[in-house]
Structure 1
Amino acid sequence: MKQGRRAVLGMALLGGVGQVFGGSAKTSVAVPPAPYGELDTALTAISRAPALQLASMSVLAIRDGKIAYEFQTGMRSIGVHGAPSKAANERTLYRMASISKMMTTLGVMRLVEDGKLALDADAGDYLGYPLRNPHFPNQPITLRTLLNHTSTLRDDLGYSFPAATSLKSLLLAGGELYGNGAMWAPTAPPGRYFTYSNLNWGVIGTIMERVSGERFDRLMKRLLLDPMGLHGGYNPSEFSAEDLSNLATLYRKRTTDTEIWHSAGPWIAQVDDYSKRPPAKPAGIDSYVIGTNATPFSPTGGMRMSARGMGKVMLMLMNEGKHEGRQILRADTLATMFSRQWSFDGSNGDTDKGLFNYWGLGNQHFVDQPGMQMVEGGGFAGVGHLGEAYGLMSVFAADLAAKNGMIVLVGGVSSDPAAYKSKSSAMARFEEQILTAMHRHVIVGKEN
């Protein structure tokens, strides 16, 4: 009942049920020019809904290949014990969670272009030791199967380890961390069955280090961040003072060591809280052996970037790999990366309750089909990635052909988002509301 009232409030603020959340959008309806006052008001209302509040939010929308809308609300840092709070702004960096996988993949594809990696080579050849599922010992695991989640690796024994730990001790029988081999699925041989695996990206990052001789965080800075003039990265201990001052703390109204929510209680910092002291180096990193274990930098979820920075990446993808006249990646490389690699056929994968249905290389495909629609009533399809960790929830969704896209970064949730499901997909209801509002006002709507 409370959710229903919140939905009605959001629809009213968005200009009426028929115009915004109805079965068809009215493209002839006049939309205020930037900064889209009605949309600002609607997004603010969504962020403050009593049932599920957002600590902060930064969004961006691209229409016809140009940034058409940006908006921030809430606090990137919530002051306690008399300390001031700091508002989110266009420079605020967020730990974007699993959208990091897509960013890592952009680095992978640059190494493919450089001839250092091949998608269908045996990944063990890059690691320097066999990478084989013991249930299917004659079937090579390739970079392609790691990137499309069909490698057969699972997260059952973890996917993040101290710098001094070699992944070899986890992946090879007899290794210190191998245990009963629970990281290897017996379901089907590599390339056949999809299961979302964070461990894949720890292996991918380690492979990137092996072939480049560079530490993962610094390698990604060279391959992606510096060429595009982007702020952020995978290692806050090396951020500039300016970037640290704009880094969002992630919050939940939930203690860090339990799953008990207190939606009426205080916001509790989960990660990236540097209000009292600067970020420390990853433990043991000074003696780290490059190419043994990239997980301390979290290739799977550790990239910090602003919505504006992510918008630059999205525009680069829409412009066939070009950024401000510089070719970051070739058009054919991006075509390979975003080509369909896996489709759910009813039995060939775990969709995580309908969240995953189609996949490329390091990216999810969002289709405009009932039960999978990103916006209520349909009308948007694209590629990109979702993210969720430590209260952060994020969306990167781009229609590369039409050059339209949406980015959402949320810095914390007050209630369990799983309790407030979308009407049209497996996402959270508030994500659907935000995307629907931006889609109707900015992408479908036309400026005066």
Structure 2
Amino acid sequence: MKLGMRALLGWALMGSGMMQAMAEAPAPASVQLDRELAAVVNDAQHPLSGLSVLAIRDGKVAYQQQFGLRRIDTAGTGVTAPVTAATMFRIASISKMMTTFGLMKLVEEGKLDLDADVSTYLGFPLRNPNAPGSAITLRHLLSHTSSLRDDAGYSWGTDTKLADVLQPGGGKYGAGAMWAQGRNAAPGAYFTYCNLNWGVIGTIMERVSGERFDRLMKRLLLAPMGLRGGYNTSEFSPAEVADTATLYRKRTTDTEIWNPAGPWIAQVDNYGVVAPAAPAGIASYVIGSNATLFSPTGGMRISAPDMGKIMLMLINGGRHEGKQILKPETIKLMFSEQWTYKENGGGNGDTLRGLYHSWGLGAQRFADTPGAGNRLVQGGGFSAVGHLGEAYGLVSTFAVDLAGRNGLVSLIGGFGTDPEQYPGRYSALVRSEELILTALYRRAVLGKTD
């Protein structure tokens, strides 16, 4: 055989070998991650209506992707739209942490003291009548140790003043179900996750600033960082309304009956059918009387990429594009331990099936220990701080490892089956959320392709 023919044959064989090796090599981690997340969303037994995710590795966005729909044609309108990078979701209780960023700005400005009696800010005495000698502070409210409870509700309209709800003798005080009783009545004594805390916090923010809560949060957090969305969809631009995801379940809104084989049913923010409306009576609303109508506890709409910007701001010591949004010491304080569960004496808090073990100021601290209900990824390795959210079909996660400069954002827009019937295998999270967070961590943060 001539030398040239041998060389040609050699190259051909080499090419064949290279093609075989390429065929046998694993796909890039991002491709595998796309496939794994799409499989979770499209699981026939446990479908999700939509998903937007983001992962940060070593202080940089390593992955972001969207799946499913933000608008589903449930009313014969012909309006269907996919989830995109611009899609904003009502992020539920992660809103509490966002509200806390605004509150901590007011602390930095000297307008609030974390350890002062909040009665001085509210303009009326805030006392648990079962522990009248103990003052309630912002630190108590932010760490869910205020002794307030959600049993009497946590959201009211413009016709209600918070003072009438919280003070004995008030027109909406009733039997006083908003206050803890017995050995857990004293502020600081016991942890119970409570949405009402943030209604009080939002009202305090209005009182000391003189600004309506939704607009105050735009000034303190959204505008300085160039973020879209906020707490009041009636003031969104047309583009923001179009980008706000409807949240869905395959569950009726009134009778709460699940039907996995049935249609998706809009639960909230159905703006493909009905435009957002301002809260009733907003024109006559008295600033500082009742900020619950803006839902400081769960009403923020924001996209996963914009949540990623906030995460990077925290990782970078409070700086964003040359601006100091929060001081490094503020961030350190906010995520420092304020409450940790202790077994002795019957326990010092309600962990909600092991989900809550440690808390900062307006933020959860996620333990990375075997058997912990709030472990975020299968097999461990990811210690983080942040917040979780669940409401109207949405399940959300914001978790950041500040020391490692890594983080995960997940926004699930709706469940086709009852999440309570699809529990996590290694945590108190929903199984779909476990699968998403573990895949994001393994593929995008660790870069694994095995």
Q: TM-score, normalised by structure 1?
A: 0.92
Q: 1:68 to 1:197 in 2, by over 3 A?
A: same
> CA offset at residue 49 of structure 1?
1.1
Q: CA RMSD in A?
A: 1.2
Note if contact 2:442-2:448 (Cα within 8 Å) is conserved in structure 1.
no
CA–CA separation in structure 2 for the residues paired with 1:174 and 1:31: 66
Per the alignment, residue 263 of structure 1 pairs with 260
Q: CA deviation at 1:446?
A: 6.4
CA distance in 1, matches of 2:341, 2:27: 38
Shift of 1:200: 0.3
Out of 376, 379, 387, the residue aligned to residue 385 of structure 1 is 387
Amino acid at match of 1:49: D
What displacement does 1:274 show?
1.2
Partner of 1:344: 341
The question of whether the paired residues in 2 share the 8 Å contact of 1:371 and 1:426 is answered with no
2:170 corresponds to which of 146, 170, 175: 175
Contact kept in structure 1, 2:179 and 2:185, CA below 8 Å: no
**Equivalent residue for 1:423?**
425
Q: Give the 3 Å change call, closer, same or farther, for CA 126–31 of structure 1 in structure 2.
A: farther
> 1:399-418 deviations in whole A, cap 9, x for unaligned?
01111000000110011111
C-alpha distance 326-446 of structure 1, shift in aligned 2 (>3 A): farther
Specify every segment of 5 or more residues in structure 2 that has no aligned partner in the other structure, as ranges.
Answer: 1-24
Could you tell me how far 1:370 is from its partner in structure 2? 1.3
Kept after mapping to 2: 8 A contact 1:317/1:334: yes
Partners of 1:273 and 1:446 in 2: how far apart?
39
Deviations 1:246-282 (A, max 9, x none): 1000000001112211011000000000123321101
2:438 matched residue in structure 1: 436
Q: Measure, in 2, the Cα distance between the counterparts of 1:440 and 1:353.
A: 26
| Alignment check: 8 A CA contact 2:246 2:270 kept | yes
Q: In structure 2, how many angstroms separate the alpha carbons of the residues matched to 1:195 and 1:341?
A: 13
The answer on whether the counterparts of 1:169 and 1:175 sit within 8 Å (CA) in structure 2 is: yes
How far residue 136 of structure 1 moved from its aligned partner, in angstroms, is: 0.6
Whole-angstrom distance in 2 between the partners of 1:133 and 1:254: 38
SS at match of 1:100: helix
Question: Given residue 365 of structure 1, which amino acid in structure 2 is its aligned partner?
Answer: R
SS of match in other structure, 2:53: strand
Number of the residue aligned with 1:12: none
Contact 2:388 2:396 (C-alpha < 8 Å) held by counterparts: yes
Q: Distance in 2 between matches of 1:177 and 1:160?
A: 12
Instruction: Quote the residue 2:371 is aligned against.
Output: 371
Secondary structure of 1:73's counterpart equals strand
Would the aligned equivalents of 1:169 and 1:177 in 2 still touch at CA under 8 Å? yes
CA contact (8 A) 1:30 1:445 kept: no
Quote how far apart the aligned CAs of 1:381 are. 1.0
Q: Work out which of the residue numbers 130, 136, 147 in structure 1 matches 2:131.
A: 136
**How many aligned residue pairs are there?**
417
Question: 2:217: which partner in 1?
Answer: 220
Secondary structure, in 3 states, of the residue corresponding to 1:394?
A: strand
Q: Which amino acid aligns with 1:298?
A: S
CA contact (8 A) 1:105 1:362 kept: yes
Distance 1:296 1:53 in 2: 32
Equivalent residue number for residue 43 of structure 2: 49
What does 1:112-151 align with in structure 2 at a 5 Å threshold?
Answer: 112-151=107-146
Shift of 1:32: 1.5
1:9 is matched with none
Displacement of 1:166 in angstroms is: 0.2
Question: 261-270 vs 366-375, which deviates more?
Answer: 366-375
Conservation of the 8 A alpha-carbon contact between 2:341 and 2:358: yes
Task: Tell me the amino acid that sits aligned with residue 139 of structure 2.
Answer: R
**1:49-103 superposed Cα distances (whole Å, 9 cap, x missing partner):** 1221100000000000000100100000002315131000000000000000000
Runs of 4+ in 1 over 2 A off after TM superposition: none
Please state whether the residue corresponding to 1:44 is helix, strand or coil.
helix
Q: Match of 1:292, SS?
A: coil
8 Å CA contact 1:351–1:357 kept in 2: the answer is yes
In the TM superposition, what are the counterparts of 1:37-186 in structure 2 within 5 Å? 37-80=31-74, 81-186=76-181
> In the aligned structure 1, how far is the partner of 2:448 from the partner of 2:349?
40
* Aligned mates of 2:248, 2:197 — CA distance in 1: 27
* Conserved 8 A contact 1:30-1:446: no
CA distance in 2 between partners of 1:303 and 1:326 (Å): 23
Q: Which moved more, 1:218-227 or 1:46-55?
A: 46-55
Give the deviation of 1:287 after TM superposition. 0.3
Q: How do 1:216-365 and structure 2 match up within 5 A?
A: 216-346=213-343, 347-365=347-365
SS of residue paired to 1:445: coil
What's the offset of the Cα at 1:121? 0.3
What amino acid does structure 2 have at the position aligned with 1:268?
I
2:61 alignment partner AA: I
Residues 88 and 244 in structure 2, CA contact (< 8 A), matched pair in contact too: yes
Instruction: Give the SS at the match of 2:63.
Output: strand
**Superposition deviation, residue 379 in structure 1:** 1.1
**Structure 1 contact 31–446 (Cα < 8 Å) conserved:** no
Question: Residues 358-410 of structure 1, C-alpha deviation per residue, up to 9 Å, x if partnerless?
Answer: 10000001111112221111111100000000000000000011110000001
Whole-angstrom CA distance in 2 between matches of 1:431 and 1:277: 30
Partner SS, residue 70 of structure 2: strand
1:193-247 residue CA offsets vs partner (Å, 9 max, x unmatched): 0000000000000000000000000000000000000000000000011111110
Question: TM-score scaled by structure 2?
Answer: 0.91
Shift in Å at residue 324 of structure 1?
Answer: 0.7
1:366 and 1:277 map into 2 onto residues whose CA distance is 39
**Cα distance in 1, alignment partners of residues 370 and 342 from structure 2:** 16
Q: Residue by residue, what CA displacement relative to the aligned partner does 1:115-145 show, whole Å, maximum 9, x if unpaired? A: 0001000011100010000111010000000
Structure number with bigger Rg: 2
